[in-house]
Each structure stands twice: as C-alpha cells, then as structure tokens.
C-alpha cells in the first residue's frame, strides 16, 4: 500500500521528469508540452483525497506520455530521457521485467551513448537484484564495471558489490571484494590524475577503506583529495571527514585543520560559514 506522502512525492518527481524532457522539444511543440503537463497535473490534484486510485491513474497517464514522447520524437534527447524515466518508473512500481525490457531497448538503440547505456545496464542489474536473482545481477554489474568503468555508474560497481555482500552477511567475501575494489580504484586514480575519473576513484577509495574500517588509509586519501582536487569538494565529504578524523581516529584537530584549509580555498560563502560553525561546535 502506498502512503499519501510517497504518492505525492512520486507524482511530483514524474511531473518534473516530463517537464524536463519536454524542454528538449522545439518551440512548435510547446502546446503539446503544456497539454501533457496539464493532464498529469490534473491527475495529481486528487492524490490526497484518494491515494490508492489516484496513484494508479497517475502511473498510467505518465507511462502513456513517456511512450508518446518516445514515439513522436525518436531522434532527440527527449526520447533518451523518456526511456530512462520509463524504466525508472517501472522500477518504482516493482514492474522489474518491464524495466529490464526498456533497458534492453536503450542498450540496442543508443549503444554509442556510454553514459546512457551504463544507466540502462545498472537499472537492469537492479531489477534482477530486487527479483532476488543476484547471480544475474552480478553478471550485469561485472559487465558494467569492465566495459563501462569510465562512466559514473561503472566506477561505483566494485564498492556496490562489496557493500551488497556485507549487507547480506557474507563478511569474508565482502572483505575480498573490498580488496579488489581498492586495487581497481587505485589503478583508476593513477591513470586518471587531475580528471573527474581520478576524483571519483579517489572518493570511492575513501568509502571502500571506511567499509574495511581502515581509517588511517581513508584519512590519507581524504587529505590527498582535498589537496589535488580543491574545486571538487562536495558537502557530503564533511561527514566523512568528521567520521574518520574525529570519531574513528580521535583527532579532532585534524578535522579543524582540514576545514580551515577548505575555508581558505573555497569561494562558496555558504560552505565557509557552515564549516566555521562546525569548527565552533567541536
């Protein structure tokens, strides 16, 4: 049973997805875009009153509109986004076989778009995982890692597989997979210095060391990332810095030093103020 809050959230997400996709269409299609958005919004207005019935109606209308975009604008970016949104919607609604089928179409139709294909393959792997067919999910993920290891999702596969096994209680296998992930990310770092791949590999290496509870190694890489990729700093790294240096290594002075280093380099005033407040509250 869907909660009213979840239904409202999913409806809003799908509406924004449709609007974003329609923005790729030409000016002459604006009336169609507005009409499609209006139709979806009309369905969405009834959500608080009758959530069970409304969510089914919303799903059917959104599905219909996504398929219409794919049919009417097959050669544009909108069709690509429509395919991915359709697969994601099927996943949300636990229609895993339908999601996998859409993923297969994406791989076949857009084979040259590596970023898009990597998303499709991950969705297919996730559909197998949620159907409790980890053997098939693993094969998809392994293919993604070795053939699309230069994409955002392909890079994350080694850690994802290790985390899955840890969550499943397979500690020994998780440890072995973490070791393999460390090797994978070290290799990517060395071969892709000063690039987004190098940054991502470094960040994922930190998370792998945290999963291994090797906090000294995690701390060493954190310092290296901040030194070599100062413009790539992201807010979620703050919690990792505090976890590693303050909580696990009991070196709050290191946390303060790193935060001051970031404050000195960043032009983001909001980030500066936030880090200053974190220092003052330590």
237 and 213 both lie in a single domain: no
Q: What pTM did the predictor assign? A: 0.76
Among residues 217, 241, 266, the one where a domain terminates is 217
240 and 209 both lie in a single domain: no
186 and 155 both lie in a single domain: yes
User: Is the CB of residue 18 less than 8 Å from the CB of residue 62?
Assistant: yes
Q: How many domains does the chain have?
A: 2
33 vs 244, which has greater pLDDT?
244
Two tokens, residue 96? 């895993």
Among residues 217, 242, 259, the one where a domain terminates is 217
171 and 208 both lie in a single domain: yes
d(CA 62, CA 231): 39
155 and 208 both lie in a single domain: yes
Give domain status of residue 244, yes or no: yes
Among residues 217, 244, 270, the one where a domain terminates is 217
276 and 250 both lie in a single domain: yes
Give domain status of residue 177, yes or no: yes
156 and 206 both lie in a single domain: yes
User: Is the CB of residue 111 less than 8 Å from the CB of residue 117?
Assistant: yes
193 and 237 both lie in a single domain: no
Residue 208 has pLDDT above 90, yes or no: yes
- What is the tens place of the pLDDT at every residue in 50-71? 445 555 667 788 888 888 888 8
240 and 206 both lie in a single domain: no
Give domain status of residue 39, yes or no: no
Give domain status of residue 222, yes or no: no
- What is the tens place of the pLDDT at every residue in 72-107? 878 778 888 889 888 988 888 889 999 999 999 999
For the stretch 46-54, contacts whose Cβ atoms lie closer than 8 Å and that sit 24 or more positions apart, written own/partner, are 47/4, 47/7, 47/8, 47/11, 48/4, 48/8, 51/2, 51/3, 51/4, 51/7, 52/1, 52/2, 54/7
Residue 42 has pLDDT above 80, yes or no: no
Two tokens, residue 257? 């030093």
Tally of CB atoms within 10 A around 189: 23
- What is the tens place of the pLDDT at every residue in 145-179? 999 999 999 999 999 999 999 999 999 999 999 99
Give domain status of residue 13, yes or no: no
d(CA 80, CA 103): 11
Give domain status of residue 202, yes or no: yes
Residue ranges making up the domain that contains 253: 233-282
């Amino acid at each position: 049973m869907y909660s009213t809050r979840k239904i409202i959230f999913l409806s809003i997400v799908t509406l924004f997805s449709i609007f974003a996709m329609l923005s790729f269409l030409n000016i002459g299609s604006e009336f169609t875009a507005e009409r499609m958005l209006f139709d979806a919004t009309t369905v969405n207005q009834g959500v608080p009153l009758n959530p069970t019935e409304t969510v089914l109606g919303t799903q059917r209308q959104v599905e219909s509109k996504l398929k219409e975009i794919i049919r009417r604008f097959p050669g544009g970016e909108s069709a690509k986004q429509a395919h991915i949104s359709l697969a994601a919607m099927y996943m949300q609604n636990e229609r895993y076989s339908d999601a996998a089928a859409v993923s297969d179409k994406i791989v076949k139709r857009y084979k040259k778009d590596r970023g898009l294909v990597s998303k499709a393959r991950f969705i297919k792997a996730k559909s197998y995982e949620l159907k409790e067919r980890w053997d098939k999910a693993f094969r998809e993920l392994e293919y993604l890692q070795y053939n699309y290891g230069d994409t955002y999702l392909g890079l994350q596969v080694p850690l994802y597989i290790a985390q899955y096994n840890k969550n499943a209680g397979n500690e020994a296998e998780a440890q072995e997979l973490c070791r393999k992930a460390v090797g994978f990310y070290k290799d990517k770092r060395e071969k892709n210095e000063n690039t987004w791949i190098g940054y991502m590999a470094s960040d994922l290496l930190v998370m792998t060391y945290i999963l291994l509870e090797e906090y000294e190694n995690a701390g060493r890489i954190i310092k290296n990332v901040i030194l070599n990729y100062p413009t790539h700093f992201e807010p979620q790294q703050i919690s990792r810095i505090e976890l590693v240096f303050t909580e696990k290594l009991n070196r709050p002075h290191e946390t303060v030093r790193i935060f001051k280093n970031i404050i000195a380099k960043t032009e983001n005033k909001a980030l500066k103020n936030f880090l200053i407040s974190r220092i003052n509250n330590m």
